[in-house]
Amino acid sequence: MDEKGFSKSREQGVLWVSHPVTGRILPFAGEGKFLQLEKRRNCYYALLPEGAKGEAYEDVIKETDIEEHDALEVLGEDRENNEILTSLSRTIQKRHIDMPAGSYTTHLFEKGSNKIRKKCGEEAIELVLASSPEDLVFESADLIYHMMVLLEAEGLSIQEVLAELKKRDS
């Protein structure tokens, strides 16, 4: 299994694996209960109960899923996600310039960088305390939004953060 399958297995309490062609996370097509999950270096292992049987994903995925996945451009999702960040960044910049009344973003800018920093800290704590996958996603979005407002208040942009992440990806 890969890191995504390992993480989901830990969250759900049943075994999940990643399809080697599509990368989709799928339930293990057999006994999904495991006794232990373990990471050793860059490898992930699941200790299954004695006598557990099952093929990992072969009967679960349909051929159309593979065809649809293959038809997608690999960078399409990255581009779409980057467009979302770019769009949000533009909205935050516009609110910073226009300062429309009643806007929460305007309220943050009016309170200043220190207030925005404190809000980022609150959101980070809420993220750390999130207990469900849904809460993790929600709190992550809150933190990213507030971080982007802070970046704008400090004359920086999310693109600079993405460029730094790109450097670290090599």
Which secondary structure element, helix H or strand E, spans residue 152, and what is its range? Answer: helix 133-153
**Domain residues of the chain, as ranges?**
3-71, 76-168
Please tell me the number of Cα atoms within 13 Å of 158 on its side-chain side. Answer: 20
Work out whether strand 36-40 and strand 43-47 pair parallel, antiparallel, or are unpaired. antiparallel
CATH number of 76-168: 1.10.287.1080
Is residue 123 classed as helix, strand or coil in its secondary structure?
helix
Q: What pLDDT was estimated at residue 38?
A: 79
pLDDT at residue 77, rounded to an integer: 58
Cα dist from 46 to 37, 42, 57, whole Å: 5, 14, 15
Each as own residue / partner, the long-range contacts of residues 95-104 (CB below 8 Å, 24 or more positions apart, any chain) are 96/152, 96/153
**Whether pTM exceeds 0.85:** no
pLDDT at 79: 65
User: 25 and 16 in contact (C-beta within 8 Å)?
Assistant: yes
- Element housing 43 (H / E): strand 43-47
pLDDT at residue 23, rounded to an integer: 63
User: 101: which DSSP letter?
Assistant: T
Residues of the chain with pLDDT under 70: 1, 18-25, 29-32, 34, 41-43, 52-82, 170
For residue 127 the two structure tokens come to: 């993220």
* Structure tokens belonging to residue 97: 């310039």
